[in-house]
Structure 1
Amino acid sequence: MPKIRQFSESRQVSTARPTGVAAAMSALVLAVLLASLDQTIVSTALPRIAEDLNGFDDIAWVSAAYLLASTAVTPLWGKLGDMFGRKRLYLAATSTFLIASVACGVAQNLAELIGARVLQGVGGGGMIVLTFALVGDIVPPADRGRYQGMFGSVYGVASIVGPLLGGIFTDHLSWRWAFLINLPVGLVALVIAARALPKATRGAKARIDYLGSLILAAIATGLVLVTSFGQRWGWGSPGIVGLILATVALAAVLIPVERRAAAPVLPPAMLGSRTVVFSSLIAFFANAAMFSVLVYLPTYLQIVHGVSATLSGISMLPLVAGLVVSQSLAGRWAAHVERLRVILLAGLAANLAGLLLLGTIGGATSTVLLSVYFLITGIGIGMVPMVVLTTVQNSVPAGDLGAASAVVTFARSIGAAFGVAVFGTLLNTGFATGTRGLPSAGGFDAARPDSIAHLPVGLRHSALDAFAHATANGYLWIAPALAVGIGLALFLKPASKIASADDKVDYALAAADDLRAAA
């Protein structure tokens, strides 16, 4: 046993007892709910925020600042968790998020709000990546898919519940409650986490890779700025072209820097793993498709079908139902390592089918038919994200769980921003083309779809058809991204069974330690 003991202690080993797993997972689910709700609630409140703080010109930075900060710090949080223990960093990230939420809620001008959103993004990014990595500490590989599936369901629910809550807070209370609501929920999660999360041994002592972290943060900054403001600044503008060139140059510098680092924030061996690289690319494409659906389908329902924000959320329930059910089933099926690729292929195929069906929607598409399309799309969306994460976590040593989870989370964040930006450009361009020739007198503006209401009745139908057609074409243009994901999944190497066996040894040793402590 001496050799096994030495091997076990070199890794972060969970000491959570089975009875404590439920409490620990409840804290993690609450944290993911907070972080995922934050963006969807705030997006609904942005018009009122801009009005109250007199900041219409710069209001886009309220969302971009959070996304920018959370994406930039994700790899660093993951690596620090591997080095110093994830529990203490998770508590620090959650505390940072809550303090920043209060600062957002009491901000008196837009500059203060944007600054607080940056700090909130720093905490939120840590909460997400450390949550995913902590699942790897708490449960063995065979059960990771089942538990990771919970978080995917939380994302789906947040995408529907968030706008509803944002509307209620904005209309009946104050937009400040979109931030202040985080405090009571977050404090409960913080207390449970402090008591229930397992302690873990620290990883090997090493110097922090400051240069690698700085370069990676700069790359993330460039990617988020390009995807968030490319359309607004102009895709061919000097600023966007300069950002693209600088980001590519930094990416080329990153690999040699990481090879020389004592404790690289992105271990080169991990970046050389086909499982990690292919899984991250799949996560990128799948999230691009997912967010183009979650962000723009409610807009289609509200403008083309004339429903309220509340009713658009209700109309999206088939999508959420499909997502929640498929997440649960995929998590259970993923307990068998050899099934991971099959589940991933099935999810990507269903998602692709859903996008192709959405590519047929029009102004007269019935509610029943839309519900069927939403259900199929939701099933596909739900089967992919956490299976990808489980595949990566099962393919790396426990000491690299944080870094591996950060790579996938990073890819998902960039994919989400990319999908929203590209689809927005396709939608706006298609709508402007479809309404060319319509009179602008009376208040109609092709850059603002909500101004369709200013058109005469006869022309209004033409504009609504143009918007529906532009939305459908957008999904047809996004669909090839999932086809690429399917191609990558075909060559994805299944998770190593040796790694799974090693982890089982660690969990057995941890359980033995618990029994001795109890005795």
Structure 2
Amino acid sequence: MPLSPMRLRLLVASLLTVSFLGALDHTVVSTSLATIAGDLGALQLMSWVVVGYTLASTVLLPVLGRLGDVLGPRKVFLVSLAVFLVASLACGFASSMAWLIAARVVQGMSSAGLQLMSQTIIARVTTQRERPRYMAIIGAAFPIAILAGPVLGGAITDYWGWSWVFWINLPVGAAALGLALVAVPRVEPGGAAGRLDVPGAAVFTAALVALVLGVTWAADGTGGGATAAALAASAAGFAAFYAIECRAPEPIIPFRYFANRTIAAGTALSAIIGVGLFSITAYLPTYVQMAYQTSATVSGLVPIATVFGMLISNLLTGWLASRTGRYRIFPILGTMLGAAGLCGMAVLPAGLPLWVPMAVMGTVGIGTGAFMSLIVAVVQGAAPARETGSITATINLVRQVGSTVATAIIGGAIGSTVAARLPDGLDGATLTPQAVHNAAPAIQSDIAGIYANAFTPVFVALATTYALGIIAAVLLPHGRLSDDPVPAHPPVPASESLPA
């Protein structure tokens, strides 16, 4: 469905604004959590403000993707935006932690619709050749939100109060909604009307919730028998989900498309981003504070360098892919840079100048950004337009699940390793960077070495993940992105699906 240049610019501006709101709401709350928990008197439930949002946005992805195909992406997008604004209002008025968590769950569900439908709408109104450039612009919302969110959240909390962390969404979101009503075109739905795989959605949701709970409990050692039960229930649930999807006439995750080499390799690359980079970013500040003896403020420079590299590379490769039509070289080079950078982090000795890990992790960010948004555009072009929502949801789903599971595993591995190697008299549960900085130089040196050694196998494992990504990138078919509009029902061959 071709649009005029002006209409397309308005559409991209609307989608970028809304995508930024959804991504920002995930990061802006982090610096306000302690204040929120203290005001509402429920410190023990603090983590669920984040977990509830993340889990809701993850489990709804395949359902919303399928709804976008059945009802049309415009309807799902506008409803998601309206619900997001109402949920933001409710979050700001929360008088208890239970209220806030419930509102955050609704906010996470609607945020998933915003992110997913933004990508789906762009895929439905652009050619394969145009798509990487616009997908990169919309994809820039995520790294920008990572950079701006914590700082913005802290400033709003200090000067306006934590309620405005949520209420700030209202004027911006209302303006975006007005623009969206004009700019977002009516795209014909492609799926069979009224046919939603309810049993598959229910089983998938239960299995994923059980997986997240099981991995989280296993990582912090608090689950006991419940951990094993949750993981067993998750495995049984995913097995049942696969059986349901193979028989469903309109599955929420179209497994049959994984016979397509482009889709299979692209999905693997998307999962590698979640496992290989998104999972480690939360722990980089702690690593830098302990291994390099920096303050909390300074420790943020390493993830900032990572995200900044990702942002620049994402925009550059999207522009280059649209200009040349070539796409395969970017994930190959990107996974190589990611593997090399994480190997470099594994061998860096503690105590080097801070610019060294900044440069190395910046390289990982550059490598990841080279295919972060591009691979979504490529996979969308390999599937029929009538199932764009479902295939886009699948790509995002494997990335988020990989990040969630790997984050929990890494946290548990680091915590247990550090606790086992600490000198006598030091308790890992109460050890803070400030306490280490006030300790004797010999103890500081010991702890720096302990943290460096604890993170080394983590970096090696993540580098191995990116090395597997090199294989997936090489398996992408040769070819060029087409200038022709994507037909609504193209064939899906088993290997080469992008026009040469």
Q: TM-score when scaled to structure 2?
A: 0.90
Contact persistence 1:133–1:405 (CA under 8 A): yes
- State the one-letter code of the partner of 2:212: V
| Residue aligning to 1:208 | 196
Matches for 1:225-304 after TM superposition, within 5 Å = 225-234=213-222, 237-304=224-291
Contact persistence 1:15–1:198 (CA under 8 A): no
Q: Does 1:97 align with 2:84?
A: yes
Task: State the distance in 2 between where 1:361 and 1:434 align.
Answer: 20
Q: Does 1:116 align with 2:98?
A: no
| Residue aligning to 1:486 | 470
Matches for 1:280-429 after TM superposition, within 5 Å = 280-305=267-292, 307-314=294-301, 316-335=303-322, 339-429=326-416
Task: State the distance in 2 between where 1:460 and 1:438 align.
Answer: 14
Q: Does 1:194 align with 2:190?
A: no
3-state SS of paired residue (1:263): coil
Task: State the distance in 2 between where 1:45 and 1:494 align.
Answer: 47
Task: State the distance in 1 between where 2:343 and 2:321 align.
Answer: 27
Alignment root-mean-square deviation, CA: 2.5
Task: State the distance in 1 between where 2:182 and 2:429 align.
Answer: 54
Residues 430-453 of structure 1, C-alpha deviations (whole Å, 9 max, x = no match): 322331x2313xxx5445443435
Task: State the distance in 2 between where 1:243 and 1:107 align.
Answer: 31
Pair 22,308 (structure 1): closer, same or farther in 2 beyond 3 Å: farther
Contact persistence 2:28–2:153 (CA under 8 A): yes
Task: State the distance in 2 between where 1:317 and 1:266 align.
Answer: 34
Residues 108-164 of structure 1, C-alpha deviations (whole Å, 9 max, x = no match): 111111111111111011111111111102221101111111233322222221111
Matches for 1:40-79 after TM superposition, within 5 Å = 40-79=27-66
Task: State the distance in 1 between where 2:307 and 2:80 align.
Answer: 29
Q: Which has the higher helix share?
A: 1
Q: Does 1:182 align with 2:169?
A: yes
Residues 347-402 of structure 1, C-alpha deviations (whole Å, 9 max, x = no match): 11111111112223444121332332132122112112212211210101111110
Select 1:464's aligned residue among 444, 448, 459.
Answer: 448
Matches for 1:82-161 after TM superposition, within 5 Å = 82-161=69-148
Select 1:33's aligned residue among 8, 12, 20.
Answer: 20
Q: Cα offset for 1:222?
A: 2.3
Gaps of 5+ in 2: 489-500
Task: State the distance in 2 between where 1:288 and 1:398 align.
Answer: 28
Matched residues, number: 486
Task: State the distance in 2 between where 1:169 and 1:309 align.
Answer: 19
Contact persistence 2:306–2:361 (CA under 8 A): yes
| Residue aligning to 1:476 | 460
Gaps of 5+ in 1: 1-13, 507-519
Q: TM-score when scaled to structure 1?
A: 0.87
- State the one-letter code of the partner of 2:384: P
| Residue aligning to 2:425 | 439
Pair 233,317 (structure 1): closer, same or farther in 2 beyond 3 Å: closer
Contact persistence 2:381–2:486 (CA under 8 A): no
Contact persistence 1:41–1:163 (CA under 8 A): yes
| Residue aligning to 1:512 | none
Query: Once structures 1 and 2 are overlaid, which stretch shifts more, 197-206 or 390-399?
Result: 197-206
Q: Identity of paired residues, percent?
A: 29
Q: Cα offset for 1:246?
A: 1.5
